[in-house]
Structure 1
Amino acid sequence: MALDDETVPLLSADEQDEQDQHGQPGPLAASISSTTTTDTEQPKAVMMKLDSTHMNDPKAAVEVSAGEIGEQARLATNTEHSLSFADAISLYRHAAFWAIFFCLGQMMTAFDPQVMGNLIAMPAFQHDFGYLFNGEYIISAPWQTGLMMGGPIGQVVGSLSAGYPLERWGRKKTLGVCVLGTIGCVFIQFFSQALPVLIVGELLAGLVLGFYAVITPAYASEVCPVALRGILTANINLFIVIGQLLANGVCAGTQSLNSRLAYKIPFALQWLWPAVILLGLPFAPESPWWLVRQGKLAQANKALRKLISAKADVEPTLAMVVKTNRIEVEMEAGSTYRDIFNKINRRRTEIATGVYTVQVFSGIYLIGYGTYFFEQAGLPSDKAFDMAVGFLAVGLFGTCLSWVLLIYLGRRIIYNVGLCILIALLLIIGLLDCVPHLIDYPGVIWTQSSLLIIWNFFYNLTIGPVGFTILCEISATRVRGKTIAFATAVQAFVGIGMTIAVPYMINPDQANLRGKMGFFFGGLTLVCLFWAYFRIPETKGRTYEELDIMFERNIPTKEFRTYRLET
């Protein structure tokens, strides 16, 4: 929306999009220069500057110039750059809490598929749903595929469907509806007595989980300052690992039961997290970025006051949000699925989708089949479950250590070095499996299992959490929800392929590759490393406004870290 000297009313997000299609957007450079000139040199604009004495009246406002907005936004940008991690925690502790609270939804996206992956290796489940093969009950590869594919298929549909309600009704209301959906889906899983019914339950659950996978990163990236953004978005990976660890721990505790409770208890525990979310959700503030896009600046101001310490001034932060939104309108960033592929957003969509999909190509699906992998490698069932719990505990430790790396190191170097380490570990696992007659060398079996645990540690130290950080930071704010939704759908679609392939590669009645799967995932990860080196820029320490400018100017990948913006 071009700004001129005439005073115009503040437009809603839909009205701004409509005017963008008919008006002449001003150059981005003019928008940026407005932050450094005086008020008399500014074109006039209108924003809702909220007075603390009128907080209960959303319509209470005074007109201010674009120069004042720019000056306030510049103050907020400088403040964010100067904040230390300790200061940011002190000022934004409420924002950190609510970002973590929303991660409970992401934990459910990990718990459900991890439980299903464990059930395939659970004797009671195998007995009730499997068939005899060489004197033992197993779940056939086709049924394994069906059980494990319900989630990814549902997530493709769910994540793509999340974009509209997320922007229409906001992050908070959408999360509430999803939680109610989860409660219903768990009923189907808990009471199912046949594989087809269970697959339907997994499919519907996956659809709802696809919403969580979009809501959590969108919200976490919009409520925290630059100093905390890396850790709080990487926190998403922490809750995924926690969900997987809880699933493995519960299954390890129930797998010795000789009744249906062995697999019904893990299903029933999925009712716990929706209850916790429903209790806390009424008190959660909505995303101020979403409120600004809706033209609800009074509510955005109120939300910021809930997120930021009372001793901090929220007006500069609100001005920065307003100014960033205005810049993206002028850049014609848009707000639809079609807009994530336009010229200004195409590169950002590619990077967001790439970093998320690399997680699948690098071998993340081995985590879901961890227990089964250990069994097929030659470990006894009880030892395999114990190893799977330790496997994820190490991953949890790695994710926590990633916070230190994110404070001191850039996203790009952590991601690329992480890929190099994963490639080396996967290839060694594959080579060890080439030793003939592994049964005669039990030490090799334990070595392979230990290397897979080390692989999980480095995955969760590097590309696991950092991938979520880049995913959240890289997209334009006006299309963030839809960019994350598209990236999630692509990752889930690739996951469908892996869900089909992995059982056939690992099952004893099929390819029976065991550790040789390291060659498969190691080769894919090598290709990912080449892409990441040339395409993933450094986003550490950059505000969303700065990232908008740098992508608009098409700054080369390697220059992002050192590029200086005029202030």
Structure 2
Amino acid sequence: MAFVHSTHLFSLAIANGAFGAPHVAILHVDGDDDGVRAPSPGWRFRWPPVLNNVPPVAFTDMSEQFLIEKRGRWSYTTPFLFYACMVAAMGDLIYGYDVGLFGNLQALPSFLNRFGETINGTKALSSHTTAVINSIIFLGKGVASLCFEPTVERLGFKWTLYILCGVQCLGAIIELASRNWQGFVSGRVLTYFAVGFCETAVPTYASELAPAPVRAFFSGSIAFWLGLGSLWGSLMSRGFLNTQADYGWQIPVAISMVPAVVMAVLLPWAPESPRWLISHGQRDRALAILDRLRPEIDVDAGHTVMEIDAIEQAIAESKIADNGSWLDIFRGTYFRRSMIAAWIFILQQISGNAFLASYATTFYKQLGFGNNSFMYTNISSAAVVAVTIPCLLLYDRIGRRPIMIVGSFLMIPGLLIVAILGSKSTHSSSEVGAIVFSVILYSCAVKVAFSTPCYMVASEIGGVMMRKKIMTFAACWDVISAFVNNYSVPYLLNKPGAGLGAKVGYIFAAISICAFFFTVFFVPELKGRSLEEVDELFELRLWAWQFTKAETHGAGARIAALEGSHALAIDSDKIHGRTDVKDTIEREEQATSAIHEVL
């Protein structure tokens, strides 16, 4: 028999070969506690008082072998897991490159010479054209968001990513062949269909592959690759700043196919999601893939078999509860989860993020910063990439919620400074520096508060059966809010229209205040929870700040323990269906007494 029950001082592993490969379960023995408990990731070794005379070596008692073991959360990852998630992340690079490229492309002389019109003696895009060219593209993204769930359910994640690659290349080819802005926009609609699949499929795929202790790192890495792609796109545009010929915009557009081609070449060696395979009755294939995704020590210990069993149980329980239809989005706890996921996406769009992503360079030019506008945009993109890296590591260590709260608060002063200083008719060099700094502050804050967590939260909050549907629902609201925002901003900035210029920052600052309170009162902490564990957490009807300390005891909690996230009683008898709680507790008490006698 093997256990994982719950503590923090001394680590033992019990190996039992009764069920094939030896099963290793991590135990902690506390000197002043009769309990045997499991470690949290990254625990520090120290001797408990009563065990000072026990040497840190293996010893044996009858049929059970006791070993000392220490593991951090990164020990639950493998090179194959990194490979699979990085291949999928090429889709994020496509998304980011498009955002960074077009935010600058529409200000390039070569692009304006081809697609602009003469306004006041110079080539430019009218407010109407700018609004259409930055908003109609979300039609493609919206269709992709709606197609995501049925496509993945029918074809799986890998074929969905293949479709993404093909559509991206087709859209880029249409853009290159265009001779008017309407033709160019039709190509961008297709590329934004690919972007829609990127935004939904990539984080969901990563969240299904990664173990709970590092899931935020992998599912949230979309933000890093998106930021890196955005910086790449910005730098490509800057490289053709003074080019008047068509190749000045054609070369950057052609390069947008590179990530798609690289992904298509590498995808054959990437795995399908084990959870998708289990839900489609392919247990053996799912186990073979999970054995490659998890460390060898866990495979040899039989943890992957137990994880597959627990996932199967969670899926079966959800099907018995008749969950999984689209109407369930508006029922029970799923309605709360759907609203949280949707509003995180909405707030990351309407709080000013989309405004700066699409119009930052144009906005700087309106303030009179000239060709330095491109440089300031590049600096901002680089800062966002730099701040994303440590935050991806911290989301799994200190949690999503604290970072989101701090980030949403810092968004407010960033926007207010832009509004106050940007509204002045002239700007000193110090004021220019303050405006650029404030834009960078806001860009970094919204990145860590919403632009990154929106993907990880939406990809995990749906639990067992509703994960893809809630992601689709949230992504659709992301599209709607982005469309409304991108269509209205040119009219808010320019005339004919409100002509607010930098004063639009006051509007976004007010929305950011609402975003801060939304984060405090409604966004739960799901750090270290397995995907299957989320259902039980929401059934407890907790306030957002109570999720951190909540305890769960079902199949999801067993999966989290097997993935190395937190402790729970896991006993090998559960593999064979013997789950009586009273019997389990009695066996654990007997094991605890036996261990203390041996020690």
Is the shorter-chain TM-score for this pair beyond 0.5, marking a shared fold? yes
- C-alpha offsets along residues 48-82 of structure 1, whole Å, 9 cap, x if unaligned? xx999xxxxxxxxxxxxxxx9xx99x9xxx98954
For residues 199 and 454 of structure 2, the distance between their equivalents in structure 1, rounded to whole angstroms, comes to: 13
For residues 399 and 132 of structure 2, the distance between their equivalents in structure 1, rounded to whole angstroms, comes to: 40
Name 1:337's counterpart in structure 2.
326
Report the alpha carbon displacement of residue 419 of structure 1 after superposing the two structures with TM: 0.8
Residue type at the aligned position of 2:400: R
Secondary structure at the aligned position of 1:289 is classed as helix
Candidates 394, 399, 406, aligned match of 1:405: 394
Residue type at the aligned position of 1:370: A
Secondary structure at the aligned position of 1:544 is classed as coil
Kindly report which structure 2 residues correspond to 1:362-373, keeping only aligned pairs within 5 A, or say none.
Answer: 362-365=351-354, 366-373=356-363
Given that 1:356 and 1:488 are in contact with CA atoms closer than 8 Å, whether structure 2 keeps it comes out as: yes
For residues 464 and 313 of structure 2, the distance between their equivalents in structure 1, rounded to whole angstroms, comes to: 12
Residue type at the aligned position of 1:212: C
Candidates 221, 226, 247, aligned match of 1:240: 226
For residues 446 and 336 of structure 2, the distance between their equivalents in structure 1, rounded to whole angstroms, comes to: 25
Given that 2:41 and 2:72 are in contact with CA atoms closer than 8 Å, whether structure 1 keeps it comes out as: no
Name 1:483's counterpart in structure 2.
470
Report the alpha carbon displacement of residue 562 of structure 1 after superposing the two structures with TM: 1.8
Candidates 506, 522, 537, aligned match of 2:524: 537
Name 2:246's counterpart in structure 1.
260
Secondary structure at the aligned position of 1:469 is classed as helix
Secondary structure at the aligned position of 1:563 is classed as coil
For residues 144 and 20 of structure 2, the distance between their equivalents in structure 1, rounded to whole angstroms, comes to: 40
Candidates 421, 424, 447, aligned match of 2:434: 447
Candidates 472, 476, 494, aligned match of 2:459: 472
**Once the two structures are aligned, what percentage of the paired residues are identical?**
24
Candidates 264, 268, 279, aligned match of 2:265: 279
Residue type at the aligned position of 2:313: K
Q: Does 1:133 align with 2:123?
A: no
Kindly report which structure 2 residues correspond to 1:377-416, keeping only aligned pairs within 5 A, or say none.
Answer: 377-381=367-371, 383-416=372-405
Q: Does 1:426 align with 2:412?
A: no
Name 1:359's counterpart in structure 2.
348
Residue type at the aligned position of 1:531: F
Note the residue ranges of structure 1 that are not aligned, 5 or more in a row: 1-34, 37-49, 53-67
Higher normalized helix content (fraction of residues): 1
Q: Does 1:374 align with 2:341?
A: no
- C-alpha offsets along residues 79-129 of structure 1, whole Å, 9 cap, x if unaligned? 895467844346433213311221111221222243222122111211222
Given that 1:106 and 1:216 are in contact with CA atoms closer than 8 Å, whether structure 2 keeps it comes out as: yes
Residue type at the aligned position of 1:559: Q
Decide whether aligned partners of structure 1 residues 477 and 107 sit closer, same or farther in structure 2, where only a CA change above 3 A counts: farther
Q: Which has the larger radius of gyration?
A: 2
Given that 2:151 and 2:160 are in contact with CA atoms closer than 8 Å, whether structure 1 keeps it comes out as: yes
Report the alpha carbon displacement of residue 392 of structure 1 after superposing the two structures with TM: 0.2
Residue type at the aligned position of 1:183: C
Decide whether aligned partners of structure 1 residues 511 and 138 sit closer, same or farther in structure 2, where only a CA change above 3 A counts: farther
Residue type at the aligned position of 1:532: T
Name 2:576's counterpart in structure 1.
none
For residues 168 and 179 of structure 1, the distance between their equivalents in structure 2, rounded to whole angstroms, comes to: 18
Decide whether aligned partners of structure 1 residues 536 and 459 sit closer, same or farther in structure 2, where only a CA change above 3 A counts: same
Matched residues, number: 497
Decide whether aligned partners of structure 1 residues 148 and 312 sit closer, same or farther in structure 2, where only a CA change above 3 A counts: same
Kindly report which structure 2 residues correspond to 1:35-434, keeping only aligned pairs within 5 A, or say none.
Answer: 82=41, 86-89=72-75, 91-313=77-299, 314-334=304-324, 336-365=325-354, 366-381=356-371, 383-434=372-423
Given that 1:414 and 1:466 are in contact with CA atoms closer than 8 Å, whether structure 2 keeps it comes out as: no
Given that 2:464 and 2:532 are in contact with CA atoms closer than 8 Å, whether structure 1 keeps it comes out as: no
Name 2:489's counterpart in structure 1.
502
- C-alpha offsets along residues 101-158 of structure 1, whole Å, 9 cap, x if unaligned? 2111122122224322212211121122212223322100111112111322211111
For residues 296 and 265 of structure 1, the distance between their equivalents in structure 2, rounded to whole angstroms, comes to: 44
- C-alpha offsets along residues 375-406 of structure 1, whole Å, 9 cap, x if unaligned? 1121012x111111111000000101212432
Decide whether aligned partners of structure 1 residues 83 and 300 sit closer, same or farther in structure 2, where only a CA change above 3 A counts: farther
For residues 257 and 77 of structure 2, the distance between their equivalents in structure 1, rounded to whole angstroms, comes to: 34
Given that 1:538 and 1:561 are in contact with CA atoms closer than 8 Å, whether structure 2 keeps it comes out as: yes
For residues 205 and 88 of structure 1, the distance between their equivalents in structure 2, rounded to whole angstroms, comes to: 35
Note the residue ranges of structure 2 that are not aligned, 5 or more in a row: 6-18, 28-36, 44-70, 554-567, 569-599
For residues 318 and 538 of structure 2, the distance between their equivalents in structure 1, rounded to whole angstroms, comes to: 11
Secondary structure at the aligned position of 2:394 is classed as helix
Kindly report which structure 2 residues correspond to 1:501-520, keeping only aligned pairs within 5 A, or say none.
Answer: 501-507=488-494, 510-520=497-507
